[in-house]
Amino acid sequence: MAGKTLNPDWGPQTLAVHAGEGVDPTTRASSPNLVMSSTFAPDEVAGFSARNRTGYEGFSYARLSNPTVAQLETKVAAMEGGEACQAYASGMAASHALLAGRLSQGDHLVISDTNYVGTAELVRDSLPRFGIEVSLVDTSDLDQVAAHIRPQTKMVWIETPANPIMRLSDISAVAALAHHMGVRDVAVDSTFASPAATRPLDLGADFVVHSLTKYIGGHGDAMGGAVIGRKEDLDALNLEATVHYGGVLSPFNAWLILRGAATFPLRMKAHQETAMAVAQFLEAHPAVKAVHYPGLPSHPQHELACRQMKNFSGMMTFQTNDTGDAIAERMVGDLEVIHYAVSLGHHRSLIYWIPTDMLMASTFRLQPEAQARYRSFAGDGVFRFSIGIEDADDICADLQRVLG
């Protein structure tokens, strides 16, 4: 039956191709069907409210569930080794659903002080309006995490490697510490690492968040997000944060992401191989001051990267000796292979200049001490670079053209 195919003994490449898929019993279609129907005609009288549907397993309305989306959810849960997955319209819809669905007035959140800009602004600007207290912490430092946990702390949220400076956090150590201190939820935004590198649930996390827009979809043509975790927790989240907040994934996007996800393990091998070659080229380039790539021995947490990441992924940042503003200008006009654009994890290489002052003023707003730590990675700014799966020589030639 479609959506049910799953053998837990399969390897990651087989899972990526087959999990959640299967021959359609009616048409014998080998590839997943795209079911766009927003409503479904049940063969029994079923409850109307999401809270009043006990026992009914079928589809009723696409905000509650949809067959194509359900196939993707089965696949992504399998890739992360999780019991259940809930898909959302974007990574931010997934992050919001998890934060707002699990935290209430009076609860306290400990979260990385450096992370994806959308998440950073959501927890700084929106959550406090609902009475949720937030502490911004360098989660690569266990002592800092411990110092900020209090009885009201319901969640510790880490992002590793963290946008945009590629700072890692030790998932098993943070999860063990947080749980030991009585924290209910440890959530990991694993978008940069991807399940090819790290499976946070295996390391003790309770939830994993992905922007499916990035590596899992992989082709830059469909936004999506996902939360993966225990079935019991996801069922509860589904009732409120999916059905009532309503940020569900379009079946068409689910269908595109399903297709992208099938080649995910192969793409990640290519991303890593190309990224390593490009990182070495940049590290040797006279115009480049520093390269932060977890796969390079020069990364300050390379030892942790080797322990925690089975694939170093395709994300890196680098700093130049000359100001990045002028180089970014040249990139907009002169790059031939790499696109000067935000986003990441696509088959196509993407690069973007992120000046530290702008980030501090608009998004991170770090205190002097935390700002100094950020600047120790980022200096005046970094080029955030998502290495695609083109030939490394062509990417390097493109960089040579703009670095001078």
Ligand X SMILES: *Cc1c(COP(=O)(O)O)cnc(C)c1O
Judged by CB under 6 A, the residue of 66, 74, 90, 320 near ligand X is: 90
Question: Whose Cβ is closer to ligand X: residue 267's or residue 285's?
Answer: 267
Closest residue to ligand X, Cβ-based? 91
Binding positions for ligand X, 333-362, rule CB under 6 A = 344
The answer to whether residue 63 is catalytic is: yes
Among 24, 61, 63, 380, the active-site one is 63
Under the criterion CB under 6 A, does residue 227 sit at the interface with ligand X? Answer: no
Q: Among 56-64, 100-108, 208-216, 349-357, which window interacts with ligand X (CB under 6 A)? A: 208-216
The answer to whether residue 189 is catalytic is: yes
Judged by CB under 6 A, the residue of 91, 164, 200, 388 near ligand X is: 91
Under the criterion CB under 6 A, does residue 317 sit at the interface with ligand X? Answer: no
Nearest approach in angstroms of CB 34 to ligand X is: 21
CA atoms within 13 A on the CB side of 338: 34
Judged by CB under 6 A, the residue of 68, 114, 163, 274 near ligand X is: 163
C-alpha 298/C-alpha 242 separation (Å) is 42
The answer to whether residue 391 is catalytic is: no
Question: Could you tell me whether strands 315-320 and 133-137 are parallel, antiparallel, or unpaired per DSSP bridges?
Answer: unpaired
Residue 126's contacts (CB-CB under 8 Å, 6 or more residues apart) are none
Question: Whose Cβ is closer to ligand X: residue 120's or residue 399's?
Answer: 120
Nearest approach in angstroms of CB 285 to ligand X is: 26
Could you tell me if 168 and 200 are in contact, meaning their C-beta atoms sit under 8 angstroms apart?
no
Nearest approach in angstroms of CB 263 to ligand X is: 19
Nearest approach in angstroms of CB 218 to ligand X is: 13
Longest dimension (CA), the chain: 71
Could you tell me if 32 and 255 are in contact, meaning their C-beta atoms sit under 8 angstroms apart?
yes
User: Radius of gyration (Cα) for the chain, nearest Å?
Assistant: 21
Among 75, 102, 199, 214, the active-site one is 214
Residue type, 301: Q
Judged by CB under 6 A, the residue of 192, 255, 281, 293 near ligand X is: 192
Nearest approach in angstroms of CB 136 to ligand X is: 16
The answer to whether residue 124 is catalytic is: no
Question: Whose Cβ is closer to ligand X: residue 2's or residue 316's?
Answer: 316
Among 88, 102, 107, 116, the active-site one is 116
Under the criterion CB under 6 A, does residue 118 sit at the interface with ligand X? Answer: yes
Under the criterion CB under 6 A, does residue 198 sit at the interface with ligand X? Answer: no
Judged by CB under 6 A, the residue of 74, 194, 213, 363 near ligand X is: 213
Question: Whose Cβ is closer to ligand X: residue 358's or residue 397's?
Answer: 358
The dihedrals phi and psi of 382, each to the nearest 5 degrees, come to -130, 150
Number of residues binding to ligand X, judged by CB under 6 A: 18
Could you tell me if 215 and 79 are in contact, meaning their C-beta atoms sit under 8 angstroms apart?
no
Nearest approach in angstroms of CB 96 to ligand X is: 9
Q: Among 16-24, 45-53, 184-192, 231-239, which window interacts with ligand X (CB under 6 A)? A: 184-192
Q: Among 32-40, 91-99, 292-300, 321-329, which window interacts with ligand X (CB under 6 A)? A: 91-99
Judged by CB under 6 A, the residue of 116, 318, 352, 374 near ligand X is: 116
C-alpha 313/C-alpha 202 separation (Å) is 19
The dihedrals phi and psi of 153, each to the nearest 5 degrees, come to -70, 115
| Binding residues vs ligand X (CB under 6 A) | 90-92, 95, 116, 118-119, 159, 163, 189, 191-192, 211, 213-214, 223, 225, 344
Task: Supply the residues annotated as catalytic.
Answer: 63, 116, 189, 214
